[in-house]
Amino acid sequence: MILTVTLNTALDVTYSVDALVPHRSHRVGEVVERPGGKGLNVARVLGTLGHDTVVTGFVGGPTGAVLRDLLAPLPPRDALVPVAGNTRRTLAITDRTTGDTTQLNEPGPQVGAAEWAAFLRTYGELVAEADAVALCGSLPPGIHVGAYAELIRTARAAGVPVLLDTSGEPLRRGIAARPDLVKPNAEELARLTGFREPLRAARDARRRGAHAVIASLGPEGLLAETPEGGWRAAPPAPVRGNPTGAGDSAVAGLLSALAEGLDWPGRLARAVALSTATVLAPAAGEFDAAAYAELLPRVTVEPYAATS
């Protein structure tokens, strides 16, 4: 079983409008709602790939109830922990004319100490059954900034590989707890290390504690710095489309391949093929299964000298 953790789950709401103009009134043509938050997106991709997947994190209030109803028919199993507050909504306003999107993210519910303690109990039980764990996204209000470090230590103590995909201070604190993998994008990596050059930044992130650093370089693919060596993985050609969810698909690719015992080139090829197939899919956050199958053997994975 693969466990994904989304402490700040979200109901992703998409509004389509003709064109968003500040300080005007708009009729919303269509309203689409789906379960969101990075860990839930990762779990959905894992479920589509056929992996037994469990999602945990916090859920609460009327928005949380809608999220759970939408999650129920999907493959990932719901082990979300209730909170008194209301799960946040993330609103994407899409201009019908240009396809451009404006994003508004609610902060999420305040999580209390008793709720965090209840989550830790659930998490501990789930980790004991997991083949791999992904810790994904932002922290809701009330959760201490070292929360991911705490969750990483639990997973490592249980001997379960753990991937961290977050940013800012939670990433900095999390890395110090020595996660097996981190998957920052170039921007997050630069903010963490102060180095804009991805290879130099990835090496610095390893020195800070991450066993392996998989940096996503957008359309150019992935850069991997690992104990077994360094690689660059790239799609056969750059593609155009909606990059929403491409990073979450890369996490699902890395994690599923890790759980299946694939080596680094196999993991990276799957991650690049899945994230490219996500950019190509018409619906944000879904992946195009035919494109994935077609891309997988054509991803280039090139080694370069390992650093440790």
Q: Are 184 and 215 in contact (CB under 8 A)?
A: yes
State the nearest-atom distance from the C-beta of 187 to its own copies, in Å: 13
- Residue 65 or 118 with smaller CB distance to its own copies: 65
Nearest partner of 277 among 306, 248, 308, judged by Cα: 248
Which residue in the set 20, 118, 199, 239 belongs to the binding site for its own copies (CB under 8 A)? 20
Identify which range of 26-34, 37-45, 233-241, 273-281 contacts its own copies by CB under 8 A: 26-34
- Token pair of 89 as six digits: 């909504």
Q: Is the dihedral of CA 15, 17, 20, 23 positive or negative?
A: negative
Query: What's 304's DSSP letter?
Result: E
How many residues does the structure list for the chain? 308
Nearest partner of 124 among 60, 56, 59, 210, judged by Cα: 56
Provide CB contacts within 8 A for 213, sequence distance 6+.
181, 182, 184, 189, 202, 203, 205, 206, 224, 225, 226
State the nearest-atom distance from the C-beta of 268 to its own copies, in Å: 28
Rg (CA), the chain: 19
- Location of structure tokens 């799957």: 270
Which residue in the set 21, 32, 114, 293 belongs to the binding site for its own copies (CB under 8 A)? 21
State the nearest-atom distance from the C-beta of 104 to its own copies, in Å: 5
306 near its own copies (CB under 8 A): no
Which residue in the set 5, 7, 59, 91 belongs to the binding site for its own copies (CB under 8 A)? 91
Residues in 183-242 that interact with its own copies by CB under 8 A: none
The C-alpha atoms of residue 308 and residue 3 are separated, in whole angstroms, by 29
Residue 248 designated active-site: yes
Which residue in the set 4, 5, 15, 193 belongs to the binding site for its own copies (CB under 8 A)? 15
- Residue 108 or 253 with smaller CB distance to its own copies: 108
The C-alpha atoms of residue 237 and residue 89 are separated, in whole angstroms, by 35
Query: What's 124's DSSP letter?
Result: H
Which residue in the set 66, 120, 190, 262 belongs to the binding site for its own copies (CB under 8 A)? 66
Which residue in the set 95, 131, 220, 260 belongs to the binding site for its own copies (CB under 8 A)? 95
Identify which range of 37-45, 93-101, 221-229, 294-302 contacts its own copies by CB under 8 A: 93-101
Residues in 100-159 that interact with its own copies by CB under 8 A: 100-107
62 near its own copies (CB under 8 A): yes
- Catalytic residue selected from 12, 165, 204, 248: 248
246 near its own copies (CB under 8 A): no
Q: Count CA atoms closer than 13 A to 48's CA, side-chain side.
A: 18
* Interface positions with its own copies (CB under 8 A): 15, 17, 20-29, 31, 62-63, 65-66, 91, 93, 95, 100-107
Give the residue numbers annotated as catalytic, written as ranges: 248
